[in-house]
Amino acid sequence: MSRGARRPAWGAIVTVTAEQPARPRKEAAAPSGSSAPTAPAAPAQKKMAVDLKGKVALVTGATSGIGFETADFLAAHGADVILGVRNVEAGQKIAKEIMAAHPGCKVEVGPSLDLTSQDSVKAFASKIAERKGPLNILVNNAGLGYTKKSFTEQGVGMLTQVNHLGPYTLTRMLESKLVASKARVVNVASVTHRITRIKDARALFTDWKGGFYQHNKLANVYFAFELQRRLGARGLQACVADPGAVRTNIYNNSPKLSKGLINVMINKFYAPPEDGAKAVIHAASCDWDADRPAPAKGKAKVAPQQDLRYYARGVFTWPQITSDWAMGGKGFLGKLKGDLWGMSTVVLSFLDWPLRRAFPGCPALSKARPCKPGSHAYDEKIASEIWDVSAEYAELPKAPQL
C-alpha cells in the first residue's frame, strides 16, 4: 500500500476516513527528528509488471510489518488475499483498509490462526483446505523474535512452535491444495540462520536454547528447501525470503533490542516495512522461470528438486554476508573470522537502507534476487530429519498427502 500517502512523515499517522478506520496495530516506533523522505512507500514497486489476477494468496501475520505490506502488495496487484491472523477483529480492520486503498481488490480474513496452538493451526488449515478454488501463494510470514521460556502441551518450545512447527503444520495440511494449484510457498527466514547449526532435530523442539530464533529461522530454510525437494517436481515452488533489517514490532518484545542505543539505531537506520518487505514480495510474486539460475556451461537445466532459492536484497546479498565466515572456525583465526563477520554484518545491516536511500535505483542495493544461504542450509540429512520430527509433532504422515 502506498502507506506514505497516509503518512506524510514517519510517525505522523494521518486521520483516516470512516471507510478506512484507524488500525489499532502497533506501529514500529518512529525515529524522532528523522530527516526521512516524506513518501518512503513504494511507487516504483507499484509500477512493476506483476499481474496476480485470478490468484489466491494466504499471508500469515498480516496485522503488521512485513506481512501487512506483503498482503497489501498482493491485493493491489490483483490477487484475492486471505489474511491468516490470530486477532480476527484487527484482521478485519486491515482487510477494510487494504480494500479501501485499492478499490476492487478482495481481502478476506480467515478464522483465528494462533500459531502457539496446534489446535488453532489445524482448525484454520482445515477451513482453508475446504475453501473452494485454488491457493496459489502461501507466505509463511508470522513470527516471533522473543518470548519468555515456555513450552506447549506437547513439550515444544514456544518459539519453535510459533516460528516453525505452526507454519510447518499449516503448510503440510494444505499441501494437496498447494500442489493442485502449482503454488508458490515463501518461508520468511532471516540472516540469523547463518550463525547457527541444528545438529539434533529433536533438540530444536524440546531444548529451549536449541530452539531460539536463529534455529527457527534455519528450520524455515530447511523446511522450504525440503518442500522443494519433495514437491518441486509436482509443480510446487517453495523458496525462502530474507527481508534484511526492518524496523517492525518484532523488536518490541525483546529485552535486549527494545531499549537503549540499539533500539534507537534500529528505529533510525533499519528499513521501514514498506521498503523492507520487498524481498518477501518479490519471492511471492516474481516470475519463477525468469529468476531460475542459468545452468552452468554444458550442464542440463537445474531440476526442480535442486532449484533451492533464497531471496534477499541489498547488502544481504553481498558476498561479505553470504560468505560462510558467519560460523567462524577452529582456533584463533577461526574465531576472528566469525567475529569479523558478525561485526561487519551488524554494521552493514545499519547501512543497508540508508545506502538504498542515498543511491535510489542502484540494483546492488534495491533488487531482490536469489543468493547463497549458509552452505549448511543445503544439508539434506538434517532437513529430512526435521521434516520427520515435525510430522510427528504435527501428527501428520511423513510422506506428502496428495
Ligand X SMILES: NC(=O)c1ccc[n+]([C@@H]2O[C@H](COP(=O)([O-])OP(=O)(O)OC[C@H]3O[C@@H](n4cnc5c(N)ncnc54)[C@H](OP(=O)(O)O)[C@@H]3O)[C@@H](O)[C@H]2O)c1
Q: Name which of 156 and 250 has its Cβ closer to ligand X.
A: 250
Burial class (CB in 10 A: 0-12, 13-18, 19+), 206: middle
Q: What is the DSSP letter of 375?
A: G
Burial class (CB in 10 A: 0-12, 13-18, 19+), 331: exposed
Residues 65-104 that bind ligand X (CB under 6 A): 65-67, 86-87
Q: Which of 144, 198, 238, 377 binds ligand X (CB under 6 A)?
A: 144
Contact status: 113 vs ligand X (CB under 6 A): yes
Size of interface with ligand X, in residues (CB under 6 A): 25
Phi and psi angles of residue 198, each rounded to the nearest 5 degrees, phi first: -115, 115
Q: Name which of 150 and 176 has its Cβ closer to ligand X.
A: 150
Residue 383 · residue 164 · CB < 8 Å: no
Task: Encode 241-257: b = buried (16+ Cβ within 10 Å), e = exposed.
Answer: bbbbbbbbbbbbebeeb
- Options 7-15, 56-64, 337-345, 390-398: segment touching ligand X (CB under 6 A): 56-64
Contact status: 27 vs ligand X (CB under 6 A): no
Q: What is the DSSP letter of 138?
A: E
Q: Name which of 30 and 245 has its Cβ closer to ligand X.
A: 245
Which residues are bridge partners to 385 per DSSP? none
What residue has cell string 482487510? 95
How far is residue 123's CA from residue 131's CA, in Å, rounded to a whole number?
13
Query: Shortest approach of ligand X to residue 189 CB, angstroms?
Result: 7
- Options 42-50, 61-69, 288-296, 367-375: segment touching ligand X (CB under 6 A): 61-69
Contact status: 170 vs ligand X (CB under 6 A): no
Catalytic-residue membership of 168: no
Residues 361-390 that bind ligand X (CB under 6 A): none
E-strand ranges in 203-257 read: 237-241
Contact status: 246 vs ligand X (CB under 6 A): yes
Q: Which of 168, 213, 222, 251 is catalytic?
A: 213
Residues forming the active site = 213
Q: Which residues bind ligand X (CB under 6 A)?
A: 61, 63-67, 86-87, 113-116, 141-144, 162, 188, 190, 243, 245-246, 248-250
